[in-house]
Amino acid sequence: MLSAHAPMAVELVLAYAIDLTDDDCTLLVTSPDFPELTTFGDDRDEAIARAADALEEAIAARISRGELIPAPSEGGVRFLG
């Protein structure tokens, strides 16, 4: 289920690089800034929304563990094919 805060989260995710890779009828989502971030979507919009949720979770987990939050690398969504 997607977060109720998806519009704000989508703005946040666009500050970080998000890679979309075609993966057998879905889009695999990863981020070079958060190697632990992996999710998917059936189309680009769903993949980005799920990336926003996954990014929120990755940041929360790092805060919980007292780890640093990386500065965004070049932001935006890249389609890697």
For 30, phi and psi rounded to 5 degrees?
-135, 170
Taking only the tens place, the pLDDT of each residue in 33-51 is 999 999 999 999 999 999 9
CA distances to 20, 35, 66 from 51, in Å? 10, 13, 22
Which residues of the chain, if any, have pLDDT below 50? Answer: 1-5
Domain 6-79 has CATH 3.30.160.250: yes
Phi-psi label, residue 66: left if phi above 0, alpha if psi -120 to 50, beta otherwise: left
SS3 content of the chain, % helix, strand, coil (to 5): 35, 20, 40
Q: Give the pLDDT score at 1.
A: 43
pLDDT, residue 2, reads 46
Per-residue pLDDT, 69:
92
Please report the pLDDT score of residue 11 as a whole number: 59
What predicted TM-score, i.e. pTM, was given to this entire model?
A: 0.78
Q: What is the pLDDT of residue 76?
A: 81
